[in-house]
Amino acid sequence: MNVVDFFKQKRDVLSLHPFELKDFLSPSLRDYWLELRNKANNSQIGLLIKDHKLASNDDIAAPAEPVAQPAPIVMKPEAEKLFNELNDTLGEVIHVGQWLTVDQNRINSFADVTEDHQWIHTDPERAAEESPFKTTIAHGFLTLSLLSVLTDSVDPDNQKFPTAKMTVNVGLNQVRFPYPVKAGNRVRASTKIQSVTPIKRGLEIVQELTVEIEGVRRPGCVAESVIRLHF
Q: Which CATH class is domain 77-230?
A: alpha beta
Residue range(s) in the chain whose domain bears CATH number 3.10.129.10: 77-230
**Exposed/middle/buried for 191, CB within 10 Å: 0-12, 13-18, 19+?**
buried
Q: Residue-wise pLDDT tens for the chain (231 aa)?
A: 665 565 566 566 555 554 445 555 566 656 655 666 666 555 555 555 455 554 555 455 556 677 777 778 888 999 999 999 999 999 999 999 999 999 999 999 999 999 999 999 999 999 999 999 999 999 999 999 999 999 988 888 888 899 999 999 999 999 999 999 999 999 999 999 999 999 999 999 999 999 999 999 999 999 999 999 999
Residue type, 224: E
Q: Where are the alpha helices (DSSP H) in 43-159?
A: 44-61, 77-87, 104-114, 119-122, 124-130, 140-145, 147-150
Q: Where are the alpha helices (DSSP H) in the chain?
A: 3-16, 27-42, 44-61, 77-87, 104-114, 119-122, 124-130, 140-145, 147-150
Residue type, 178: P
Q: Does the predicted TM-score (pTM) go above 0.75?
A: no
